[in-house]
């Protein structure tokens, strides 16, 4: 099985990259499943009904989220009605939505897609290390193929999660920092790991935002409006090959695909 995971989609440029590049990547990598983090998809912050529909229509099968989950009020209707949208599992009991989605096809075993949010340098949440253990044990009764998007700030927290889950899930890929790391590997137990998938959107920027106001904020500490940038659009993420029988990862390959490659 071939899975593409797409790092944080940022605004309209990121959605455009997904729309134009996912069909090409499906052919090139013979993809079976496409997962995308879209917590920044609507104007650079949160997600709406329309942007979710656009992303699904572009060929994404499952959407994961993160700390910008609540930035658009429309997300409440999505959490209640859209089974393909996954919010962090470690929200308190009673929070709308689900922390896991099950993808099914006729050719391959089911795939469980989990979303977690870290706690280091981020808002308080339930302990992801505690809640994930029971969830994975329950999921493994139905499938050996489990994909985890760990939306977290600290590298050490992400690596610790990957190491803890090694052998019990197929992949742990980090999101949130918007900077693609170069540490893709397969751990001894068969779990593919990447600290951060990067982001999909304008890279002539400060992690997707126009450069000048971000610099001004750091220089003066005064509030600025952080608008989504527009230049050098790149789709980033990773392609992971997984053994259908064991659920172990066989290969992980980073993706950094410029939108300009589609223009001749």
Residue 68 among the catalytic residues: yes
Token match 């009991």: residue? Answer: 93
Beta bridge partners of 257: 235
Of 29, 68, 176, 248, the catalytic one is 68
Q: Of 153, 185, 145, nearest to 66 (Cα)?
A: 153
Closest CA to 113 of 215, 165, 35: 35
Instruction: List, by residue number, the catalytic residues.
Output: 68
């Amino acid at each position: 099985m071939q899975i593409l995971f797409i790092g944080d989609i940022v605004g309209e440029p990121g959605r455009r990259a997904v729309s134009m590049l996912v069909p090409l990547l499906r052919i090139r990598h013979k993809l079976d499943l496409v997962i995308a983090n879209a917590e920044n998809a609507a104007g650079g912050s949160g997600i709406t009904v329309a942007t979710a529909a656009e992303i699904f229509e572009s060929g994404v099968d499952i959407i994961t989220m993160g700390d910008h989950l609540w930035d658009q009020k429309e997300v409440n209707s999505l959490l209640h009605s859209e089974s393909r949208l996954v919010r962090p599992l470690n929200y308190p009991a009673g929070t709308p939505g689900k922390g896991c989605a099950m993808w099914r096809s006729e050719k391959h075993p089911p795939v469980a897609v989990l979303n977690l949010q870290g706690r280091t340098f981020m808002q308080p949440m339930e302990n992801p290390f505690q809640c994930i253990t029971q969830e994975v044990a329950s999921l493994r009764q139905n499938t050996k193929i489990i994909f985890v998007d760990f939306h977290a700030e600290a590298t050490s927290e992400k690596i610790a999660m990957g190491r803890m889950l090694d052998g019990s899930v197929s992949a742990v890929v980090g999101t949130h920092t918007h900077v693609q790391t170069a540490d893709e590997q397969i751990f001894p137990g068969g779990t593919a790991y990447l600290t951060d998938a990067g982001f999909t959107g304008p890279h002539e920027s400060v992690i997707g935002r126009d450069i000048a106001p971000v610099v001004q904020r750091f220089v003066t500490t005064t509030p600025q409006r952080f608008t989504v940038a527009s230049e050098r659009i790149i789709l980033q993420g990773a392609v992971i090959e997984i053994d259908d029988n064991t659920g172990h990862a066989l290969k992980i390959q980073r993706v950094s695909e410029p939108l300009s490659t589609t223009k001749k």
